[in-house]
């Protein structure tokens, strides 16, 4: 049995689907179901006897302890986190509570839980902490990609909270001997991604003939990783990663935000054309985000050498699959873009319709 925290979110739910397609071992999803946690993401596996769901918050020590003592997992994959930079700029305290305090509570509960095991069994336990490349800060045009040895230099409240949680995980390995693993991934995209992030936001706005807001001139560079490739990497780390080590996961797809948006527009011109002209004409440059990191890039050499993982999707193949999924699931998009989503647009953008982008 394994436990997946945040398993109703974007990457977590994709990992649940991937796990159940690849493994017979049962899992439990533990999720607070905040705005980005959605049980619809798990609907395709809801009837699978290997799957179960527990609603709970990682900051609730008693709830976490009850879960561990009841299901007695041999591993935890820790996705649960606040993850949107724009939201962290507007409301950083929630990121401190969930990402830092929540990770601490989880680590403490796991430390006590694991201490109950026989000494011969304790080393088989694994705690996989899923983090982000944003902890490393920003790169210049000619800087080498982030490696596992790159010093932390977070530039947003979100990135700072994830860097802090990474350090707590590291400390529990070195102080208490907790068998942990950390991974830093680049920008994910794929099915079930909440449409506050760049790619689903642009798809959603284009379909509704809204402006496609782009921060600044769109020259910021990101490495894009299809979520299925990320899930494959996580399985490899959980199975074969060295305890106490960090692994960087990237897609080998460095693109500017403008290139990404224009690619989405060209695909939509084929699959869902506008009445007049190209979707590219809907791109609208807007004032840049405060402290916007300019470039992220990932050196995947370590995970490739040690674990034999390489990404399978190019951005061309991955974005085709992603667009097809969103076009084929209009009910999912409609359900997640009502209620709390529209309230966020009203609060953050002032109109109920996005006039500034939400980009990672």
Whether 75 is in a domain gets the answer yes
Options 134, 166, 228, 262, the catalytic residue: 134
> Given the structure tokens 């990783």, which residue do they identify?
225
Tell me whether residue 158 is one of the annotated catalytic residues: yes
Among 87, 71, 70, 76, which Cα is nearest to 34's? 87
- Domain count across the chain: 1
Q: Interior CA angle at 133 toward 129 and 138, to 5°?
A: 150
Whether 29 is in a domain gets the answer yes
Whether 98 is in a domain gets the answer yes
Whether 101 is in a domain gets the answer yes
Options 133, 229, 293, 313, the catalytic residue: 133
What does pTM read for this prediction?
Answer: 0.93
Tell me whether residue 331 is one of the annotated catalytic residues: no
* pLDDT tens by residue, 320-329: 999 999 999 9
Residue 77 CA: distances (Å) to CA of 6, 130, 219: 9, 7, 34
- Domain CATH number, residue 91: 3.40.50.720
* pLDDT tens by residue, 190-233: 999 988 889 999 999 999 888 999 999 999 999 999 999 999 99
Options 31, 86, 113, 158, the catalytic residue: 158
Please state which of the ranges 110-124, 147-161, 168-182 shows the lowest mean pLDDT: 110-124
pLDDT at site 83: 84
Whether 112 is in a domain gets the answer yes
Domain region containing 83: 2-188+225-253+294-314
In the chain, what percentage of residues exceed pLDDT 90?
79
Whether 352 is in a domain gets the answer no
Tell me whether residue 134 is one of the annotated catalytic residues: yes
Q: Cβ–Cβ contacts within 10 Å for residue 277, how many?
A: 10
């Amino acid at each position: 049995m394994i436990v997946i925290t945040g398993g109703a979110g974007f990457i977590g739910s994709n990992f649940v689907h991937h796990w159940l397609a690849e493994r017979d071992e049962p899992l439990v999803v533990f999720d607070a179901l905040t705005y980005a946690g959605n049980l619809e993401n798990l609907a395709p596996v809801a009837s699978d006897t290997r799957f179960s769901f527990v609603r709970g918050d990682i900051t609730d020590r008693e709830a976490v302890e009850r879960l561990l003592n009841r299901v007695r997992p041999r591993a935890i994959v820790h996705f649960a986190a606040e993850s949107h930079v724009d939201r962290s700029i507007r409301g950083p305290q929630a990121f401190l509570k969930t990402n830092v305090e929540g990770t601490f509570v989880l680590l403490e509960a796991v430390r006590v839980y694991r201490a109950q095991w026989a000494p011969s069994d304790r080393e088989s336990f694994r705690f996989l902490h899923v983090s982000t490349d944003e902890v490393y800060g920003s790169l210049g045009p000619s800087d080498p990609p982030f490696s596992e040895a790159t010093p932390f230099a977070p530039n947003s409240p979100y990135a700072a909270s994830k860097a802090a949680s990474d350090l707590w995980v590291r400390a529990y390995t070195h102080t208490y001997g907790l068998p942990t693993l950390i991974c830093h991934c680049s920008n994910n995209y794929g099915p079930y991604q909440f449409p506050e992030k760049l790619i689903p936001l642009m798809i959603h706005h284009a379909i509704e003939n809204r402006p496609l807001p782009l921060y600044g001139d769109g020259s910021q560079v990101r490495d894009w990783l299809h979520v299925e490739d990320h899930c494959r990497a996580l399985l490899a780390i959980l199975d074969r990663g060295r305890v106490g080590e960090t692994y960087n996961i990237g897609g080998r797809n460095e693109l500017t935000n403008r290139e990404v948006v224009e690619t989405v527009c060209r695909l939509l011109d084929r699959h869902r054309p506008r009445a007049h002209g190209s979707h590219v004409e809907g791109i609208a440059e807007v004032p840049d985000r405060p402290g916007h990191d300019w470039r992220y890039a990932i050196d995947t050499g370590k995970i490739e050498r040690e674990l034999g993982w390489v990404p399978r999707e190019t951005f061309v193949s991955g974005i085709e699959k992603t667009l097809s999924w969103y076009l084929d699931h209009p009910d999912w998009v409609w359900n997640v873009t009502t209620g709390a989503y529209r309230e966020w647009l009203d609060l953050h953008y002032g109109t109920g319709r996005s006039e500034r982008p939400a980009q990672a």
